[in-house]
Homo-oligomer: A and B are copies of this chain.
Amino acid sequence: MKDKNFVKEITNIDDDFAKWYTDIVIKAGLADYTDTKGCIAIKPYGYEIWENIQKYIDNEFKKVNIKNTYFPLLIPENLLQKEKDHVKGFAPEVAWVTQGGEEKLEERLCIRPTSETIISTMYSKWLNSWRDLPFLYNQWCNVLRWEKETRPFLRSREFLWQEGHTIHETAKEAQERTLQMLDIYDDVVQNLLAIPTIKGIKTEKEKFAGADSTYTIETMMYDGKALQTATSHYFGQNFSIPFNIKFKNRKEEEEYAYQTSWGISTRLIGGIIMAHGDNRGLKIPPKIAPIQIVIVPIAMHKENVKEKSEELYNVLNTNYRTYLDTRDQYTPGYKFNDWEMKGVPIRIEIGPRDIENNECIIVRRDTNEKIVTKIDKIVETIKNTLEDIHKNMYNQCKKRLEEKTTTAYNLDEFINKMNENQGFIKAMWCGSEECENKIKELTSAKSRCLPFNQEKISDTCVCCGKKADKLVIWGRQY
């Protein structure tokens, strides 16, 4: 009975997905609401997921010569104004500092929503010659965007991210870097988070404020909605001209540098929840799970149970993040539910009878399957099982992505499909913003991207019927 109540505490995933989501955030102990409206506190269990992602990405960055730096949190208003599209995009959603100590400020300072402006100012100061290039800098930091509607991880006013900013001698080199970083993100999302991706380029309407082009890693969540997990931008000289980032080129002429920026954030944690979770709670992909294996001793008071559990713990913890749950105020049943809620990939049950047979029971969080294993085979079994869990979680998402991606050839079909089966729609597009706006208005779906993998499924725009040669993926979004 107690066990049932535990699961009852969360909303059914198919009844109210939004409510299910926030239930999971709280009950799994990832984060909590705070007295600062729109801002969350990330608890140890949530933060450890972020640390695991961070460690992997930071290492990948270092392999491609990215260096970490740190730039100021506060940006003087006049800097934000310098690039016109950028200010239009970001000014409405920044927080303003108007008072410092006892002093009313002469010029307002905004809390960075992103750091192109302040970083460009410094690049302008530091750059002299083509010999100095490229600058390949990144920072791990907090940013703030004054969102009206907020949701933990997905749309917090404050969030944590990394923002990479590079400048280059040539447009080609900058463009290559933009795509190289996109590939790192693609690897992170697929191989760490176990979520299949669609790589593509954003339309003019959806690109980053100030960018020449924005590339994106799009993913699909449980409910068929899209989550943009990472973006990489090519700026051309859009910032380097107003910010005067120039250098003496090889011909001894002055030239403006070519620039990129790219970022990934704690939003990914929202993606993990929504891509993998179910009615029993969270499912964390094995590679980033704070606890990869939990050992739950059964009948702890009986002979040998504690000792054997500890032995097992010591064997496994050398290679895997393992937790031995010896809490004596809870029943094993309660613990099973608790760790399922927290999404631990593997649970090991070990009791007196198992010990007699030199066995233990492995329970997979992804399939709920129970595997009886000889204790002397445990290391190998765990290794294979964790790999298989990753693959299976990936494939489950892949299957959903395929099932929920349909095609549409005209507007009626588009509207019906989006309403009946919320998911992605592949459709041809003429390239006009009017058609994007109309589709948005009628279906709440936006263009996700022009996927790199272009197919020609028809000759005419799904919206206006005019000639079209671009395939676009459309979907409702987080």
Contact = CB atoms under 8 A, between A and B. Distances in A.
Interface of A: 32, 34-36, 39-44, 47-48, 50-51, 67-76, 79, 92-103, 108-109, 111, 118, 121-122, 125-126, 131, 137, 141-142, 144, 146, 148, 157-158, 160, 329
Given A41-B70, A74-B144, 7 more contacts: A32-B126, A34-B122, A41-B72, A48-B67, A94-B101, A95-B100, A96-B97
A68 to B, nearest CB: 5
A70 B92 contact: no
A75 B35 CA distance: 8
Given A34-B122, A101-B146, A44 B73 contact: no
A141 B70 CA distance: 11
Contacts of A39: 72-74
A40, A96, A103: which has the most chain B beta carbons within 10 Å? A96
Contacts of A99: 95-96, 98, 108
A67 B96 contact: no
25 contacts: A32-B122, A32-B126, A36-B118, A39-B73, A40-B72, A41-B69, A41-B122, A42-B69, A42-B70, A42-B71, A43-B69, A44-B69, A44-B137, A47-B68, A51-B68, A73-B73, A74-B95, A92-B102, A94-B101, A96-B97, A97-B98, A100-B157, A101-B148, A131-B329, A142-B142
Q: Top 6 closest A-B pairs, CB basis?
A: A44-B67, A101-B146, A39-B72, A96-B99, A42-B70, A100-B146
Contacts of A121: 34-35
Contact of A76 (B36, B51, B92, B94): B36
Contacts of A94: 101
